[in-house]
Amino acid sequence: MVPKKRKRRESFGAIRQRSSGRYQASYVGPDGERHNAPQTFDGITDARGWLAVQQARILDGTWSEFDTARAESSGKGKALTFGSYAEDWISTRTNRHGEHLRPRTASEYRRLLAGSLRPFADSRLTAITPDQVRSWYSTLIAAGTKTQAARAYELLKSILSTAVADGRIKVNPCQIRGAASASTGKKTEPPTPSELQAILNAITPRFRAAVVLAAWTGVRYGELTELRRRDIEIVSDDESQSIVVNVSRGVTHVTGQGFIVGRTKSEAGVRAIVLPPHVNDIVTEHLSEFVGRSADSLLFPSADGGGHLAQSAFWKHWNPARIAAGRQDMPWHALRHYGATRAALAGATLKELQSRLGHSTVAAAMRYQHTAGRDEELARRMSELA
């Protein structure tokens, strides 16, 4: 009888043959945990070679728990789909302050995943290639959705950048230069003073103050519709009256969750803005006629007075007013541009514009200065000196 050959015991680590015939190698590291090779091997010699490398790293002190975990994650990434990884990314994503994504942001990201990024949902992370990304992006651009394509690409790149850091993939396949900043090239044109007056004349009276505040303070819609009586500070002396609008919160509407009140878009969004005196009367009249006596009363509540004003509900009042002004093309956001432009024309510095609009950087403020007609003013002054 032929004696049964005894299985060799490895001097370091362990090797087992799987049902597929391939070999799986593992070892217990300095951390006391068992670590598996990120891939299986065709032959036992290859498996032993991998174990020898790991043993050498431990002996010479170059073994790293972090690097080992990344290598193991990379192996797992071969079967991990983009859709699954992206959902986990959204759920665990934090900013530099250690805060999770805001509900509105998370909802927007999930909308992009279910829409523009849907072609990648079932793709393995390791299977997404630069060619595939370029083809997908080109299709979106050809469909005329430049802004949407830029947002989707930026999200895709961010998610896959994290996958690289996690060791799931080696290289980010998003390599299209400038793709995240593509736009339609359309500029938001603010109303002229006469167009703004036409809007004020045509809009429902209880929203005249909303137009004034948006146009002369530059508050965002979510900031405007969360303003309450206590946020309007009236400072009077014997000769004049000033109105200060204190912005410290914003409201967003998230599908399935309703209205959510939170902080402003950024820390810079918390600000105090002084109204130009010539529109003070419109605001004080609004406080007297349309706002409840409680300090917590919303300035612009919903029709039933019980909650926040949805943009879809406000549209019924805004659209006829802009049509009456001959500006069917003008979005509500154009009033924010108007306020920034007028402040720039009044001589506001970039820092002052940044503070007034609640921007974290001066980049947006620079854009508003470019639209302020300064070149025309310079040309006029040059002519006077001729």
As annotated, the active-site residues are 220, 333, 336, 359, 368
In the chain, beta strands by DSSP E: 14-17, 23-28, 34-36, 232-236, 241-247, 250-254, 258-262, 271-274
**Phi–psi pair at 234, nearest 5 degrees:** -105, 120
Q: Which residues pair with 41 in a beta bridge?
A: 23
Q: Could you tell me how far CA 75 lies from the centroid of its own chain? A: 31
Distance CA 343, CA 333 (A): 16
Q: Would you tell me how many other CB atoms lie within 10 Å of the CB of residue 307? A: 14
- Single-letter amino acid, residue 66: F
Report the alpha-carbon distance of residue 163 to residue 161 in Å, rounded: 5
Count of residues in the chain: 386
In 3D, which of 115, 114, 181 has the Cα closest to residue 146?
Answer: 181
Q: CA nearest 347: which of 379, 384, 377?
A: 377
Q: CB-based contacts of 132: which residues, under 8 Å, 6+ apart?
A: 123, 173
Say how far apart CA 330 and CA 322 lie, in whole Å: 7
Q: Specify the amino acid at residue 129.
A: T
